[in-house]
Amino acid sequence: MRSFGTFTTDLHRLVEWLKECGVETVVMESTSVYWIPIFELLDAHGFTVFLVNARDAKHVPGRKTDVSDAQWLQRLHSYGLLRASFRPKGQIAELRAYVRQRERLLEYAASHIQRALTEMNLQLHHVVAEITGATGLRIIRAILAGEHDPKVLALLRDYRCHASADTIEKALTGSYRAEHLFALEQALALYDAYHEKVSACDARIEAVLKELSIGRGRRSDSSLSPRRPRTDQVNGLAFDVRAALFALLGKDLTQIDGLGPYLSHKLIAECGDDLSAWASAKHFTSWLGLAPSNKISGGKVLSSRTRRCGSRAAALLRLAAVTVGRTNTALGAFYRRLSARIGKAKAVTATARKIAVLFYNAVRHGMEYVDPGASFYETRYRARVIDNLHRRAKVFGFVLQPMDPAPGVVVS
C-alpha cells in the first residue's frame, strides 16, 4: 500500500506509479467533487476509470477506514460486481459544465435580492411569481430610484401579474431604512453582474452546440416546424436553442408535450445526444429512478416504490410532468386521471416516466411525436375499461348490455 498527497504533482506521481504497476482499470467512489481532478487525470492518461456510487459499494459490517474501503472496492471490482456511473464524454461533458455553471449563477443572482427584501420586510416574493421577473425588477429599481410609496409602486405591476394592486401595496409596506436600501442596491448590482456572467455562459453553450452539430454531421429530412405558442422563459438563453438542438439532433424535441427548448437543452446536457449507453427505454427510466424498484422475496413483492435518486435529469422530467398536467393533451389527461386515483406525487412520477420514454425514443431512434389529444386518450381509456368489464362479467356468467337512454336524456 502507498499513500499520495492531493497536490497536482502528487497526483501525477500516482499516475506514473499505476503505469509502472501495469494497472489498466481504476475504481473510485463519487464523493462530493473531490474525485473530479484525479478522475480527469486518469482518464486523460488512458486508464479505464470506474466511478461508482457509494450506495452500490457499501462496506461489510465492521470498522470503516479509507484503507479497508479501498480494499473492498478492489475486491468487488475483481469479481466484476461494480457498475460504472454514467458520465458524458468530450464536448457533452463540457456542455454540461457550462449549463450547470449557468444554473448556479442564476441561483446566486436571486438569493442576494431576496435576503435584502426580507430584511426590509417587503413580502414581494409572496405576490409575484419571480422577484426577478418583470414586475419584481421594475419595483426594485423604482425603490432604489427613490420611490417608497407602496401605492405608487403597486401600479408598476405587469398586466400578467395575478396579484391585485391592493395586495402588492400591502406587501410593499416595510422598512425603508438607509442601510437596508444600501444592501438592496448592492444586491441588485450583484444581480446585474451575475447576469453578465450568464451571458458569457450562453455564448459558450451556443459555441459548443454548433461544434457538436458540425461534428455529428446529422441531416434531417424534415424542416423545423413553426414554433408552438409558448410563454417566454424568464431565464431563457440568449440564442435560438430550439434551432440549435434541431441542428444537432435532426429532431424537434419540443414537439413532445412538456419539453420546451430551455428544458430540452438541459436534458441533452445531462444525458447527451447519444443514448446508446442504455440498451432500452426501460434501462433509461431505471437509471433515472422513475421505474419501480421491485423487491421480491419468497415470491412476495415486498416493495415496488421508486428508489431515491438525485438525478438532475429526473428532476427536470418531473418538472415537465407537472407542467404538462395542466394542458389539454394526451399526457395531460393521463396525469389528471392518475392524480385523481393515486395522488399527485405518484402521477408526477408516472407522467415523468412517459416523457422520459418519449425523449429516449426521439433521441435514440428518431421518433416523431404527434400528440393524439386528450379526447383520444379518454376515448381509448373508456374502451379499455368497458372491455375489462365485459371480460369480468363473462367470468361470472353475465353479459353486459348497453342501456338505452330515456327520451330527452343525454348520456355522456
Q: How many domains does the chain have?
A: 2
**pLDDT band for position 375 (50/70/90)?**
confident
Domain span at residue 349? 275-291+307-412
| pLDDT, position 232 | 64
| pLDDT, position 34 | 84
* CA end-to-end span of the chain: 76
Per the domain annotation, does 192 fall within a domain?
A: no
Residue 228 has pLDDT above 90, yes or no: no
| pLDDT, position 357 | 95
| Cα–Cα distance for residue pair 296/409, rounded to 1 Å | 51
| pLDDT, position 97 | 94
| Cα–Cα distance for residue pair 261/243, rounded to 1 Å | 9
Residue 240 has pLDDT above 70, yes or no: yes
Per the domain annotation, does 368 fall within a domain?
A: yes
Closest to 144 measured CA to CA, from 192, 202, 186: 186
| pLDDT, position 105 | 93
What average pLDDT score do residues 127-148 get?
90
- In whole angstroms, how large is the CA radius of gyration of the chain? 27
Of 85, 105, 122, the residue that ends a domain is 85
CB 191 within 8 A of CB 132: yes
Least confident of 74-88, 93-107, 254-268, 312-326: 74-88
| pLDDT, position 402 | 82
Residue 145 has pLDDT above 70, yes or no: yes
Cβ neighbours around 357 below 10 Å, total: 17
Mean confidence (pLDDT) of the chain: 87
| pLDDT, position 62 | 64
Per the domain annotation, does 56 fall within a domain?
A: yes
Per the domain annotation, does 2 fall within a domain?
A: no
| pLDDT, position 192 | 92
3-state secondary structure (DSSP) of residue 60: coil
Per the domain annotation, does 108 fall within a domain?
A: no
3-state secondary structure (DSSP) of residue 279: coil
Per the domain annotation, does 128 fall within a domain?
A: no
| Cα–Cα distance for residue pair 365/363, rounded to 1 Å | 6
CB 62 within 8 A of CB 16: no
Of 85, 108, 124, the residue that ends a domain is 85
Residue 220 has pLDDT above 60, yes or no: no
Return the amino acid letter for 257: D
Least confident of 28-32, 181-185, 261-265, 348-352: 28-32
| Cα–Cα distance for residue pair 153/149, rounded to 1 Å | 6
CB 171 within 8 A of CB 124: yes
Of 85, 115, 149, the residue that ends a domain is 85
Per the domain annotation, does 129 fall within a domain?
A: no
Per the domain annotation, does 407 fall within a domain?
A: yes
What average pLDDT score do residues 240-244 get?
91
